[in-house]
Amino acid sequence: MTRFFITRPIFASVLSIIIVLSGLIAALQLPIAQYPQIAPPTVLITATFPGASADTLTKTVAAPIEEQLSGVENLLYFSSSSDSSGTLTITATFEVGTDVDEATFNISNRANIALPRLPEEVRRIGLKIEKRSNDILMVFMLISKEKGKYDPLYLSNYATLNVLDELKRTKGVGDVQVFGGQDYSMRIWLRPDRMAQLGIATTDITAAIQAQNAQYAAGKIGQEPMPPDQQLIYTVNAKGRLLTPEQFGNIILRADGPQGVLYLKDVARIELGAQSYDVRTALNGEPGAGMPVFLQPGANALDTKNALVTKMDELKKRFPPGMDYVVPYDTSLFVKASMWEVVKTLGEAMVLVILVVYLFLQSWRATLIPLIAVPISLIGTFAGLWLFGFSINTLTLFAMVLSIGIVVDDAIVVLENIERLMDEEKLSPMKAAIKSMEQVASAVVAIVLVLCAVFVPVAFMGGIAGELYRQFAVTVAVAVTISGVVALTLTPALCAILLKHTHGESAFFLAFNRNFKRLTDFYVNMVSTTIRHKIIGAIAFSGIIALAGYLIKTVPEGFVPPEDQGYVVAATILPDGATLARTTRTAEAVRASIASDPAVAHEFVVNGFDLIGGGNKTSSATMFVAFKDWSERTASAEDIIQKLTGIGMQQSDGIAIAFNPPAIRGLGTAGGFEVYVQTRAGADPLQLSTVVNNFIEALNQEPRLAGIATFFRPTVPQFFVEVDDAKAISQQVRIADIYATLQSTMGSFYVNDFNLSGRTYRVQLQAEPAYRTNPDDLGRVYVRSQSGAMVPLSALSRISTVVGAEQLERYNGLLSAKVMGGGAPGVSSGDAIKLVEEIAEKSLPDNYQIAWTA
């Protein structure tokens, strides 16, 4: 068979050209990423219960939904986070490779089963179920170039109306959001004292808005069936939803009272405000609207980033004067830098291989043959990656680096045997090539099969590690297979054309050959000695095996080592119950201090967002500190982390802790480990907190662990309103009216909707800020009895001070608390995990357990 290619070198060349062209075409189609797609697909369920506490959300919304999730096909685990802003998020995580669209459909069906058991307010707002990628590619930030010209409300809604949909339609984009998006809302700011004077209850306002802000179908005049002589049909239009604050202010509450017509504006201030004020974003200390872009699974990160920037530059031409955008967070920079380093290593390895081959073959003609064969094998490997649905990433490129030294062997085996036959048997290059392939063709095939037998089994490893290394193993196997094909086709044909009978030896090569012969003779003598003394050889071999076994057990284990990714994350934490204004001041102090560091480029702050817990919390802030290019700074990420944490510990009103992002985006929220402590003994957050604190104390006693912390704090000061049902009934006050009044004043009550700029927004009731600053303000809120008397809420209830959680998490349906940490310097992640498991086994009481999540 090989004779066919030797005698037809053009055919052999065409075959190799086809391999190269296939590889080049495939390379242009392959996605580019830092790592293979190993982050498991997730589906997010979001529910909103305005004014509800975290405990109320957990019991009335999270529990009924989670009961239905167990048993969903390919579901790995699910977790939920309920916060005091009235938002519940449930994240369902599926096995790698699961069809995320099918998973979303299954989750939606299960959630709909639980829907009738949810509170009416939650059902009215609805559940939001969406597939979610945890891989944030980059963040765009809309800013005002002139300070104060555009407020965050305007910037946020401009992004929603004019930018988000355009970015979502960009190829490779999975989703785009607005951090703490302040969607427009018609805010009805109530004045409870004025309402009490005029005898108006919140239920009156709700009923008036529902009646006068509604869309009605008025029908048609002349619609069939009609008399035969009817000539025209007229559509009848009627007043529909209101549009402006002025129109809402003119809603009539009462027309027959002693004051005449009473309007909504007489008892409330109406403005076009935000649906939520729980989160504020800022870039370099200036407010703005941040838009995180999530990468679509399998998409090309670099191409997607370029397409997004092009689209934003196009949209920028339509921005209002004084508006601009900045990219404060861009993970593609690290991807690009990582890929460049691997490509550079690939080139360096190629050069070294060429030099070594030339050093031993001592002929440029002979060296040219493997120099041609190796690139063909490597380029053709891209076609194999495309066929298997892989990507160009650091692991596949590293596999190519490793393959250079392997694939060159096939060409050298063929080449050296042909040269040997030409020297020893004085055969022509053509005859030597034919005879050589008769001798070594089976050996080349055996080499390919043996190497494939080594690497292919790795492709069948399970779990995330299997997904991570599958592409590495298959890449090597594909490269080796192609190199075998090239060695059997093109290499002997090239040898028959390029090789000559003799080539002169320079003084350098004569000296090199003499010294190498001495080394060869020494090696032969050592082998002979070992053969004569078999027992010594066996003992030495056994010692090597024992040493290898010892090293396997003692060398630290790890998943992926941490790297300087060009940015770090900092969590700002204030005392329980701190207001968003306090949190913003502390986060700004930390930001201003780190901004002076010459290595820092941008500081993107999300005030009111708890990255670790995954929910909104007024006492927390998250800061993304982006660095300058690696070539423009000497400080490493670890240096910035230490400095930033030091700054955070000096704050008078709170602390800030900095940490590396996860080594693989989408797996966890920070570098190191995340573990849940779960209770099966009942849902008592205070008892769980005690167990967690004892567990952390035990972990801190282990010097091989570092950075142990938890953000689970069920001791936030809260108030409990206890309604005296008997007194309320005796005064003819309906219990439901009391709680409706509480929600409409102290909370935020969603009445109905209005339209603006082609979109639908909420109409919400809430008391003016001055009427909800302290517990005594309940005495200024009144509810109307069935007899018409206005009764203060303070006369029907009493308030007591309690403690509770601003945020509660559940993992697989069990109340849980997340503990974060990592290994001390020199301790691998694998060893750290083993230590945590050992300590948990000893220190956790019965009915408590740990569960790993990242």
Q: DSSP for 129-151?
A: EEEE---EEEEEEEEESSTTSS-
Do 664 and 570 have their domain in common?
A: yes
Instruction: Give me Rg for the CA atoms of the chain.
Output: 35
Q: What percent of the chain has pLDDT over 90?
A: 22
Q: Give the DSSP letter string of 339-407.
A: HHHHHHHHHHHHHHHHHHHHHHH--HHHHHHHHHHHHHHHHHHHHHHHHTT--B-HHHHHHHHHHHHHH
Q: What is the pLDDT of residue 259?
A: 66
Helix axes of 429-455 and 463-498: crossing angle, nearest 10 degrees: 180
The tokens describing 563, both together, are 């790297």
The SS3 assignment for 462 reads coil
In a domain, 654, yes or no: yes
Q: State mean pLDDT over 186-192.
A: 94
* Torsions phi, psi for 578 (to 5 deg): -65, 145
- Does residue 252 sit within a domain? no
Please check whether residues 420 and 563 belong to one and the same domain. no
Query: Do residues 491 and 618 share a domain?
Result: no
Residue 503 in this model has a pLDDT that exceeds 60: no
* Residue 665 located in a structural domain: yes
Note if the bond before 192 is cis, omega within 30 degrees.
Answer: no
Distances (CA, A) of 723 to 726, 728, 735, 796, 809: 9, 8, 8, 6, 28
Are 360 and 500 members of one domain?
A: yes
Task: Report pLDDT digits (tens) over 386-404.
Answer: 998 888 888 888 888 888 8
Of 671, 705, 738, the one marking the end of a domain is 671
Q: What is the mean pLDDT of the segment spanning 642-647?
A: 91
Q: In terms of C-beta distances under 8 Å and separation of at least 24 residues, what long-range contacts does 385-390 make, across chains too?
A: 385/26, 385/30, 385/471, 385/475, 385/478, 386/26, 386/29, 386/30, 387/26, 388/471, 388/474, 388/478, 389/298, 390/30, 390/36, 390/471, 390/474, 390/475
Taking each helix axis from N to C terminus, what angle separates 364-387 and 394-424, rounded to the nearest 10 degrees?
140
**In the predicted model, is pLDDT for residue 668 greater than 60?**
no
- The number of C-alpha atoms within 13 Å of 597 and in the hemisphere containing its C-beta is 27
Q: Please check whether residue 782 is in contact with residue 793, taking contact to mean a CB–CB distance below 8 angstroms.
A: yes
As given in the structure block, the two tokens for residue 759 are 């979109």
- Reduce the DSSP state of residue 83 to 3 states and report it: strand
- My answer on whether 499 and 579 are in the same domain is no
CA distance 352 to 345: 10
| H/E run at residue 834 | helix 829-843
pLDDT exceeds 90 at position 311: yes
133, pLDDT greater than 80: no
Q: Under 8 Å CB-to-CB from 544, ≥6 apart: which residues?
A: none
Q: Which of 83, 78, 109 is nearest to 93 (CA)?
A: 78
CATH of the domain at 378: 1.20.1640.10
- Domain end position, chosen among 639, 671, 703: 671
Q: Domain of 562?
A: 558-671
- Residue 185, pLDDT above cutoff 90: yes
DSSP-based three-state secondary structure for 270: strand
Q: Which pLDDT score is estimated for 257?
A: 62
**More confident call, 1 vs 113:** 113
Where are the alpha helices (H) located in 499-579, listed in sequence order? Answer: 507-532, 534-554
Highest mean pLDDT: which range of 271-280, 452-461, 530-539, 549-558: 271-280
Domain-embedded: residue 330 = no
Can you tell me the distance from the alpha carbon of 49 to that of 127, in angstroms, rounded to the nearest whole number? 11
For 359, left (φ over 0), alpha (ψ -120 to 50), or beta?
alpha
**Based on the domain organization, do 498 and 566 belong to the same domain?**
no
Q: In what helix (H) or strand (E) does residue 617 lie, and over which residues does it extend?
A: strand 615-627
Integer angstrom CA distances of residue 292 from 81, 133, 169, 625: 20, 11, 15, 15
Q: How confident is the model at residue 410, as a pLDDT?
A: 83
| 277 closest CA partner among 662, 748, 833, 652 | 748
Supply the pLDDT for residue 22.
93
Q: What is the pLDDT of residue 383?
A: 93
- Token reading at 149: 């010209």
CA distances from residue 399 to 339, 381, 461 in whole angstroms, order as listed: 13, 10, 17
Backbone angles phi, psi at 279, to 5 degrees: -130, 140
pLDDT, the chain, mean: 86
Bridge partner residues of 326 (DSSP): 141
Count the domains in the chain: 2
Separation of alpha carbons 247 and 756, rounded Å: 13
Where does residue 126 fall: left (phi above 0), alpha (psi -120 to 50 degrees), or beta otherwise? left
| DSSP label of 584 | H
Residue where a domain terminates, one of 435, 470, 504: 504
Closest listed residue to residue 750, CA positions, set 48, 22, 7: 48
Q: Specify the amino acid at residue 394.
A: T
Determine contact, residues 278/152, Cβ cutoff 8 Å.
Answer: no
**How far is the C-alpha of 843 from the C-alpha of 708, rounded, in Å?**
15
Confidence category of residue 796, pLDDT binned at 50, 70, 90? confident
**Which of 64-78, 235-249, 339-353, 664-678 has the weakest average pLDDT?**
664-678
Identify whether residues 383 and 458 lie together within a single domain: yes
Confidence check: pLDDT of 669 > 80 = no
Rounded CA separation 69/676 (Å): 19
Give the span between the Cα atoms of 543 and 545, in whole angstroms. Answer: 5
How are beta strands 797-804 and 716-723 bridged, if at all? antiparallel
Q: How far is Cα 430 from Cα 422, in angstroms, rounded to an integer?
A: 10
222: left (phi over 0), alpha (psi -120 to 50) or beta: left
Residue tagged 């409409």 (tokens): 744
**Tokens 């690009």 appear where?**
336
Which pLDDT belongs to residue 558? 62
Same domain, 565 and 496: no
**Would you say 633 and 599 are in contact if contact means Cβ atoms under 8 Å apart?**
yes
Band of residue 623 on the pLDDT scale cut at 50, 70, 90 = very high
Q: Beta-carbon neighbour count of residue 286 at 10 Å?
A: 13
pLDDT tens profile 559-583: 666 778 888 889 898 887 788 899 9
Q: Note whether 347 and 474 are same-domain residues.
A: yes
Helix axes 507-532, 534-554, angle to 10 degrees: 100
Mark whether 488 and 603 lie in a shared domain: no
pLDDT at residue 767, as a whole number: 92
Q: How far apart are CA 775 and CA 800, in angstroms?
A: 10
pLDDT digits (tens, 9 = 90+) for 691-702: 999 999 999 888
C-alpha distances in Å from residue 794, one per residue of 170, 200, 779, 780, 805: 55, 17, 5, 8, 25
Nearest to 385 by CA among 13, 96, 36: 36
Instruction: Say which range, 66-75, 368-377, 501-510, 693-702, has the weakest mean pLDDT.
Output: 501-510
Torsion of the alpha carbons at 326, 331, 336 and 342, rounded to the nearest 10 = 160
List the end-to-end C-alpha distance of the chain, in Å, as a whole number.
54
Cβ pair 562, 636 in contact under 8 A: no
d(CA 66, CA 789): 44
Q: Is there a single domain that holds both residue 578 and residue 442?
A: no
Q: Is residue 787 part of a domain?
A: no
CATH of the domain at 568: 3.30.70.1430
Question: Residue 834 and residue 851: Cα distance in Å, rounded?
Answer: 13
Is residue 84 domain-resident?
A: no
Asked if 403 and 375 touch (Cβ cutoff 8 Å), the reply is no
Mean pLDDT of 82-100: 85
CA–CA separation, 840 vs 837, rounded Å?
5
pLDDT band at 342 (very low <50, low <70, confident <90, very high): confident
Residue 697 makes CB contacts below 8 A (sequence gap 6+) with: none
d(CA 797, CA 794): 5
Residue 481 covered by a domain? yes
**pLDDT reported for residue 505:** 65
Given a contact cutoff of 8 angstroms between Cβ atoms, the answer to whether 442 and 348 are in contact is: no
494 assigned to some structural domain: yes
pLDDT (0 to 100) of residue 31: 83
Q: Write the pLDDT tens digit of every residue in 25-76.
A: 998 888 887 777 777 888 989 998 888 888 889 999 999 999 999 889 989 8
Instruction: List, for residues 190-240, the tens digit of each pLDDT value.
Output: 999 899 888 899 999 999 999 999 888 888 887 888 888 778 888 888 888
Can you list the positions of beta strands (E) in 151-278?
Answer: 173-176, 184-190, 220-221, 234-235, 252-257, 260-263, 268-274
Does residue 447 sit in the same domain as residue 592?
no
Q: 416 to each of 85, 575, 649, how far by Cα in Å?
A: 74, 75, 67
Per-residue pLDDT, averaged over 493-518, amounts to 79
